[in-house]
Amino acid sequence: MRGDLQQNKQGRNVYDVIVVGGGIVGSMIARELSKYKGRFALVEKEPSTGFGVSKANPSMLHSAFMFPSGPLRHRLVYDAASRYRKLAGELDVVFNEVDEIFVALNTTQLEKLEKAQKWAEENNLPGGHRMIGAGELLELEPHVTPKALGALHGKGVGGIYAPEWTFALVENAVQNGLELYLSTEVKDIGREKDFQYDVVTSKGILGTRYLVNAAGLFVDEIARMVGDNDIKLILTKGVMAILDKSVSHLVRNMVYGSYGKDHSQLVTPTAHGNILIGMGYFTCPEHKADTGVSGEKLSEVVEMAKELIPAVSEKDVITSFAGIRSENTKAQVMGDFYIGESEHAPGVIHAAIGSPGLTAAPAIAEYVIELLSRAGMAMEEKKDFKKHRTGWRRFEEASFSEKEKMLASDPRYGHVVCRCEQVTEAEILEAIRRGADTTDAVKHLTRAGMGRCQGGFCGTGVLNYLARYMGISPTDVTKKGVGSYQVCGFTKEKRSQHG
């Protein structure tokens, strides 16, 4: 079939499956697909994977009892930590294993947590959730508020950094034959007949037999292109802030206060050592790109964090951001995931995912493969699948002897470009060589620009490395794609070398 399609569409790339969306879910699906024989592609409208919803969330795994309603998401988040732990070893990326602690500040919260613990036991949740008293809580978290009455303690969760993971997942998938289209927006989807679709993109038309719609906040728009008008999204926005690494000692685990459909109170270590606080009371965004943060909302999340960890200070906030969450109206139970084959376009799988999509992503990928098989796709595993991907050494994390070896192998490890995060020239150039072509992409992969000064010191250096390596003018380097140029001109007419 694949050969026939290619013969009938001269000059057009034709695939067995196209995945639309390069967030954590789409990237997991792409990597899972690459285990099988066939021709597969991932189409992402941003210049890098993980640039959408995936980068604007806490990137922490959640327990199933935080989302007891919704049978599909409850099933898919089960024992997520073990899946991530295994993948971290295969992909050479960071998985920060921590516990989760739900703090009770009053008797009502204490009763709620006791019920949650009973529910966890009845449903055999991994982690051995148990109630602990104020004394044991202080041993686990010395900086927690003395007003705490007790807590629910669960083991075996953790955190990742989603853009780093999406890059690794897709890079490994490309090693196994996936074709990647970045900065490629899907404009329309034409249907010649069942299992024969034309995906009209900003860079041309791609043909496919099957299509997986993992477009995140735009899953409803992709669905409408194939005639499914009943997938609608309800959006809410939460605010988060990152604290300087000088206060990373304030928490060791994910510390929750109260939480619900309308708010979340969280203080947690990130995968790379900062502390993240958020998400406050959710608001309704004006549109899908409404990620602005007001001073009022930032103050709100800081005050809520202080209720849990009094030593948290607004002076330690180095950056803030907003993330947009979604629920779909298609699932039988409100709040649940909707993952299923199109009712109007056979071979098209829609994945309308809300919270906790990141937690469930590995299991979602396996489920999508199952649905493709049910839809008629032959799933034959590759005997030569390359499951291991090698990252690159982090100078900051290396021991003294390891640093000596790194310097001996490449003297550019001796040039620290980002002082805050101790990122070297060698790491930046390796990220660019492997596909990072914007300053944000370099930041997400190396952490250059994620420290206290937020790129104030290293930003110009990173921009110049990008210009030199790609052979373009600094005026053509962008922060995160078309329209985000950082240099608009030169103060001197004559210029030889930049930087």
How many Cβ atoms sit within 10 Å of the Cβ of residue 487? Answer: 16
Phi, psi of 28 (to 5 degrees): -60, -40
Q: Output the pLDDT for position 8.
A: 38
- Which are the catalytic amino acids? 62
For the domain with range 96-158+234-328, which CATH number is right: 2.60.120.380, 3.40.50.1950, 3.30.9.10, 3.30.70.20? Answer: 3.30.9.10
Angle between helices 439-446 and 162-175 (to 10 degrees): 100
Q: Output the pLDDT for position 5.
A: 34
Tens of pLDDT, residues 390-431:
998 889 989 999 999 999 999 999 999 999 999 999 999 999
What Rg value do the Cα atoms of the chain yield, rounded?
A: 23
For the domain with range 400-476, which CATH number is right: 1.10.10.10, 1.10.3720.10, 3.40.50.1820, 1.10.10.1100? Answer: 1.10.10.1100
Q: Output the pLDDT for position 7.
A: 35
C-alpha span between 209 and 13 (Å, rounded): 12
Q: Output the pLDDT for position 68.
A: 67
Tens of pLDDT, residues 166-202:
999 999 999 999 999 999 999 999 998 888 999 999 9
Tens of pLDDT, residues 59-89:
899 887 777 678 999 899 988 999 999 999 9
Q: Domain residues of the chain, as ranges? A: 2-53+163-232+330-374, 96-158+234-328, 400-476
Phi, psi of 210 (to 5 degrees): -125, 155
Q: Please state which CATH class domain 2-53+163-232+330-374 belongs to.
A: alpha beta
| Burial classification of residue 355, based on how many CB atoms lie within 10 Å of its CB (0-12 exposed, 13-18 middle, 19 or more buried) | buried
In which residue ranges of the chain is pLDDT below 70? 1-12, 68, 493-499
Q: Output the pLDDT for position 119.
A: 85
Residue whose C-alpha is closest to residue 270's, from 243, 310, 309: 243
Q: Output the pLDDT for position 9.
A: 47
Q: Output the pLDDT for position 4.
A: 34
Q: Which residues of 49-80 are buried (b: 16+ CB within 10 A; e: fewer)?
A: bbbbbbbbbbbbbbbbbbbeebebbbebbbeb
Q: Output the pLDDT for position 491.
A: 77
Q: Output the pLDDT for position 495.
A: 53
